[in-house]
Amino acid sequence: MNRKVSIIERIKRNSKWVWGQKWELPTKFTLKEGSQRGKFYLLWYRGSDKVLTPVPPLKHEKLPDLSGALRLARIKQRHLEDEADGLKRPDPVNPENRVAIQEAVEKFVSEVELTRDPLTHKLYEQNLREYSGWTKLTYVDEIDKNHLFGYRKHLMDGGNERLTADWKLLRINKMVKTTLRLDHGRGPIKKSDLGKMKPSGDPFERGVSEPAHQVPAGRDHRKVPARDAKEDPPHRPQPGRHDGALHRHAAAGPRRLRHHPGLAISR
């Protein structure tokens, strides 16, 4: 099965529409190249038949840019690779099968409300609506690692700590995997992409604030005032060690003092 995907541009030359430059995957674009706008198509094959799929523009834009075309081409190539491995799922570049981000957010938040506690639901709702208001993407399958890393930078520039931003990315990633029914490890990002995550497991789903410090099991979470370093530790007599000797001295009564040379005793 042919898994190759290319990007090809439709341009107007001498008042006629013709096929222009072609880019084959894998490829990379500079920031300037990726911002180029035009009529882009994905070129791939179904058996021996050539298929051309137009690249849709982002919301509020008239024409797609080259970086958006590359993102969609990678999604299509992954779909062809999965299909070759026997994994059957809807074609992500077919508009009829694609799920809009706004629609996915509403559905996923509703599922969380039914299956999780109110605090977790509020958290997911806040994080996902914050993201959907920021992104210019239209469909869930367009969300990739570079896009999410761009969102993390936006969050940190806005004052979020790195750990807080990383957890927000993982919650978006969870929505993507649930919406597209992806297997474990097949989402846009993995935990390994974000480095070491503490605590392990979503802190809000564990019922603690973020960021949280791990406390050993069985230890009290309440703060205990620190003892002054100069203060002597309180004396706590150990039962059974001196009690017997004290009782014996008390029972024997007052002891007579022996005269010691050089020792004067005043009466």
| pLDDT value of position 24 | 93
Q: What is the pTM of this model?
A: 0.52
| pLDDT value of position 203 | 56
Distance CA 261, CA 41 (A): 115
Helix (H) or strand (E) holding 189: none
Q: Tell me the two tokens of residue 181.
A: 């029914």
Residues in the chain: 267
| pLDDT value of position 238 | 54
| pLDDT value of position 66 | 93
User: What residue ranges do the domains of the chain occupy?
Assistant: 6-84, 101-194
User: Within 10 Å of residue 141's Cβ, how many Cβ atoms?
Assistant: 27
pLDDT along the chain (267 residues), means of 10: 88 91 92 93 89 85 91 89 81 79 94 91 95 92 90 96 94 93 84 71 50 41 46 52 50 52 47
